[in-house]
Amino acid sequence: MGYDETGRTAPVETSSGVPAAVLKNVFDDPSHGEPGRDRIAVHVVWEFLLLLGLAAVTWLLWREDADALRGGALKTLLVDVAGLGLLTLAAGLSLRAATVNLAVGPVALAAALHFAEQGDRGVREALLPALAVAALGGLALALAVVVLHVPAWAASLAGAAGVIVYIERRTTPVVVQGGYDPRRTALYLFVGFAAVAVLGGLFGAIKPVRRLVGRFRPVADPARRRGAAAATVAALALIGSTVLAVLGGVLIAANGDGPVTPATGLDWSVLAIGAVMLGGTSAYGRRGGIFGTLLAVCTVEVFLAWAVAHDWTISRWAVGGATLGAGLLVTRLVETFGRPRPAPPPNAVPAGPTGPGDDGAISTGWALTPPPEPADAWPSVLPVRTTDTVDSWESPRWENEPRRWDAGDR
């Protein structure tokens, strides 16, 4: 109906009342988003606090066991950071695209079991089939999410159940076969993970890239489709996250000291998602920091190494749950202080018509011009007599003006 529209002939306006054509360069989502650019200061402050936390935990580890930060122990720690980092990148990629992939943990564990069984054939021969299967599985998951437009967490949880069925076919731990030792290239693996994490954060801070990657994030009814571009990016994010999970699982298996034990793998999902949220990535998608993922993963792994130095046995579920709980608080901070500043009020609407056929503000809505005087100030019914006005009945017109009937008698 006509009154439901904000303007039948006027340009489309955003929720702030400003035309989208004017603010298309400052909107994260010109059709529905808030005017203005996301603020990055909250990520800078939080990443500085993470850096302080990492320094504190590293100092505690050095004081407890200095040998854990040198030689072969340091290489093992760097590979652990790279392995968990790949899982965190997988979770972060899907989370930034607003399509969280809960299957990254089971996929990583399945890849670890596969590599443990087939590692004696060579790294390439064992890795390529796993990557191909992961890409096809990610594609199937992506089609379910973008074609049916269902929540990614539910679809990925269903996919995780299928992967767990594959894992449960093994009833005993599997000893890693082959001679691949990632500790020989530990520094390169760590630098590679750090570069990908930081460069991804830098690109994600660019407004057009962030807007495109996070376009699948709902802004109104979450069941409404977000367009072909959003569906394409979401599908690529799900496929990429599944492939990264396989690489992380291979590193975890090759860097382990014992056999790979069959389990659900969901504890790895909780830990990876908790680490990426602790680094500053919003649980709602789109928003995220630059160095946060790198700092969060390093902090978690150094803490686990410190716990080992204390001979503590801490469940991965406990660490993942605590990390995820802290990440939820970080999400609230990011969404509160990272959103654009409130837009200034729009310009005042003219009080009346400005030209022929112009009905003022009523053509763009039901906002009528306020009355010029209070409603209770009733106008006077009778004219007010003033001293300067002479009443026509009291004027001496009968004496000053000539009378027409006298002229007619003459």
CA distances from 272 to 99, 245, 296, 320, 356 (A): 15, 10, 10, 8, 65
pLDDT digits (tens, 9 = 90+) for 140-181: 999 999 999 999 999 999 999 999 999 999 889 999 988 889
Q: What is the pLDDT of residue 272?
A: 96
Q: What is the pLDDT of residue 409?
A: 46
Which residues 6+ apart lie within 8 Å of 96 measured at CB? 204, 213, 214, 237, 281, 285, 286, 288
CA distances from 396 to 393, 402, 403 (A): 8, 12, 13
Q: What is the pLDDT of residue 5?
A: 37
Question: Which of 40, 107, 352, 45 has its CA nearest to residue 241?
Answer: 107
Of 283 and 360, more confident: 283
| Model confidence, pTM | 0.76
Of 297 and 378, more confident: 297
* Contact of 87 with 105, CB cutoff 8 Å: yes
Percent of the chain with pLDDT over 90: 57
